[in-house]
Amino acid sequence: MTFIIQQAIQFKGRVAIREGIKAFTYDELILRAGKVATFLLRGKDDLGSARIAYMVNPGIAYVAVQWGIWQAGGVAVPLSLNHPEEAVRYYLRDSGAEVVICSPEYVKSLQPLASGMQLNLTDTEKVLEDQDLKPFFPRIEGQRDAMILYTSGTTDKPKGVVSTHANIRSQITTLVEAWEWSSEDQIISFLPLHHVHGIINVVGCALWSGACVHFMPEFDPSGVFHLILEENLTLFMAVPTIYYKLIQYFNRLDPEAKQKLRDRFGRFRLMVSGSAALPVSVLDQWKVITGHTLLERYGMTEIGMAISNPLHGARKAGYVGMPLPGVGVRLMDEEGKPVREGQPGEIQIKGPNVFKEYWQKPAASRESFTSDGWFRTGDIALVEHGYFRILGRNSVDIIKSGGYKISALEIEEALRAIEGVKDTAVVGIADEEWGELIAAAIQSPHLGEEDIPAIKESLLKKLPGYKMPRLYRFVAELPRNAMGKVVKQEVKTIFTA
pLDDT value for 482: 67
Q: How confident is the model at residue 152 (pLDDT cuts 50, 70, 90)?
A: low
* Contact criterion met (CB below 8 Å) for 410 and 391: yes
Tens digit of pLDDT for each residue in 78-91?
999 988 888 899 99
The sign of the CA dihedral 417, 419, 422, 423 is: negative
The pLDDT value recorded for residue 154 is: 47
Count the Cβ atoms, other than its own, within 10 Å of residue 363: 8
Secondary structure (DSSP) of 331-346: EE-TTS-BPPTTS-EE
- Residue 358, classed as helix, strand or coil, is strand
Asked whether residue 439 is domain-assigned, the answer is yes
State pLDDT tens for residues 412-422: 989 998 999 99
Interior angle at CA 287, CA 282 and CA 292, nearest 5: 125
Amino acid at 356: K
Question: What is the total count of domains within the chain?
Answer: 1
DSSP string, 234-249: -EEEE-HHHHHHHHHH
Share above pLDDT 70 across residues of the chain, in percent, rounded to a whole number: 98
Could you tell me if 391 and 380 are in contact, meaning their C-beta atoms sit under 8 angstroms apart? Answer: yes
CA pair distance 140, 144, nearest whole angstrom: 7
For the CA atoms of 355, 191, 322, 208, the dihedral, rounded to the nearest 10 degrees, stands at -70
Tell me if residue 485 falls in helix, strand or coil: coil
Task: Give me the domain span that covers residue 417.
Answer: 398-496
In a domain, 422, yes or no: yes
Residue 165 lies in a domain: no
Axis-axis angle for helices 280-290, 255-265 (nearest 10): 90
Phi/psi at 438 (5° precision) = -80, 125
> Is the pLDDT at 108 greater than 60, yes or no?
yes
Is residue 273 one of the residues assigned to a domain?
Answer: no
**What's the CA gap between 150 and 355, in Å, rounded?**
12
| Burial of residue 25 (number of CB atoms within 10 Å: 0-12, 13-18, 19+) | middle
Spatial distance between the Cα atoms of 63 and 26, rounded to a whole number of angstroms = 11
Angle between helices 280-290 and 408-416 (to 10 degrees): 50
Q: Quick one: DSSP state of residue 198?
A: I
Q: What is the pLDDT of residue 326?
A: 94
Does residue 235 fall inside a structural domain? no
Domain membership flag for residue 402? yes
Pairing label, strands 304-308, 295-300: antiparallel
Q: Which helix (H) or strand (E) holds 110?
A: helix 107-116
CATH of the domain at 471: 3.30.300.30
pTM to 2 decimals? 0.85
Q: What is the mean predicted confidence (pLDDT) over 446-461?
A: 93
Average pLDDT for the chain: 93
The winner for highest mean pLDDT among 81-90, 104-113, 473-482 is 104-113
In a domain, 88, yes or no: no
pLDDT tens digits for range 194-228:
999 999 999 999 999 999 999 999 999 999 999 99
Does residue 127 fall inside a structural domain? no
CA-CA distance, 348 to 36, in Å (whole number)? 38
What pLDDT is attached to residue 400?
81
In this predicted structure, what is the pLDDT of residue 222? 96
